[in-house]
Amino acid sequence: MARLTEIAGLNAFWGGVFVPTMGGLHEGHLELVRKAKDLGHPVVVSVFVNPDQFNDQDDYADYPRQFEADAAQAEAAGADLVWGPSNAVIYPQGEDVATPDLPRVATHPGLEDAHRPGHFAGVLRVVQRLFDLVRPEVAVFGEKDWQQLQVVQSMVDRDGGPRIHAMPTCREAEGLARSSRNERLSPLAKQRARAVYLALQAAGAANHPSTAERVMRETLESHDLEVEYAVVRSSVGLRSVDDFSRPSRALIAAWLDGVRLIDNLPMPVWT
């Protein structure tokens, strides 16, 4: 097991399985690390709070920074290397770290792209930079940020890169998706936040995407969540759908007590 903060020494870990994170590790991240161990060797976990992908500077400032604790947890879950580079290592002064062209799924769906302008440019810039430095065979991403997963997959399909391994969202007992931001909710707010999972489940029982969207919105609003979007889209490409004849996802973004919750669930395919 090793810990690094610089680029020097990373080459000893090239060709492995990579779990990129922004730290604040929770059970969801640790499941990714455990799965990574099954997929190959060595397992590299990065911990880097990427300033480029935050729209809200308070959110960036509040993001947990606890490298030693994160590294200890990642190691216990099986990481061979925990890499915690500084901003200067990722974005060195005088070096142009390019932003890859954004694929359609990063600009057109009107979901995270519309509500977090610039976010995916920041994500792809850092992900490409991390891939260039870590040079993994496989990279593991959670499904919770479904649009991010599609955006990264599209970039790799177009430009080449590691095989992307997607992992289902890790949930608390009552369905709330595990996330660093959800950790900021009070116990009472967590109870109300369950409405997100209830809404997604209700969507899966609807007989038409438009009904699913209405039911999700009603469920969220009845728990006093402020809805940004509650939609059903094609799983790949995130295009509008008229029926459930192909793989689709219900996707939600909603605010609760100043915390932005996002989640999604696959919808049944009707044959």
The residues binding ligand PAF (CB under 6 A) are: 20-22, 50, 53, 123, 126-127, 145, 148
CB of 225 to ligand PAF, least distance (A): 22
Q: How far is the CB of 127 from ligand PAF (least distance, A)?
A: 6
Shorter beta-carbon distance to ligand PAF: residue 22 or 253 = 22
Q: d(Cα 128, Cα 123) in Å, to the nearest integer?
A: 8
Distance, CA of 168 to CA of 174 (rounded, Å) = 16
Does an H or E element contain 19, and which?
Answer: strand 17-21
- In the complex, what is the shortest distance from the CB of residue 209 to ligand PAF, in angstroms, rounded to a whole number? 27
Task: Kindly name the residue from 26, 29, 119, 165 that is annotated as catalytic.
Answer: 29
CB of 271 to ligand PAF, least distance (A): 33
The torsion angles phi and psi of 140, rounded to 5 degrees, stand at -105, 125
Strand partners, 20: 46
Nearest distance from C-beta of residue 180 to ligand PAF, angstroms? 8
Strand ranges across the sheet with 248-256? 226-234, 248-256, 259-267
Burial class (CB in 10 A: 0-12, 13-18, 19+), 3: middle
Closer CB to ligand PAF, residue 20 or residue 78?
20
Q: Which residues pair with 163 in a beta bridge?
A: 138
Q: Which is nearer to ligand PAF, 21 or 219 (CB)?
A: 21
Which one, 139 or 185, has the nearer CB to ligand PAF? 139
In the bound state with ligand PAF, the residue whose beta carbon lies nearer, of 50 and 169, is 50
CA distances from 3 to 13, 65, 71, 90, 131 (A): 11, 16, 8, 16, 18
CB closer to ligand PAF out of 37 and 181: 181
Closest separation in Å from C-beta 48 to ligand PAF: 6
Phi, psi dihedral angles at 166 (to 5 degrees): -95, 140
Catalytic residue at 29?
Answer: yes
Q: What is the spatial distance between Cα 200 and Cα 203, in angstroms, rounded to a whole number?
A: 5
Can you list the alpha helix ranges (DSSP code H) found in the chain? 27-39, 57-62, 67-76, 87-90, 112-115, 119-134, 146-159, 187-204, 209-222
| Catalytic positions | 29
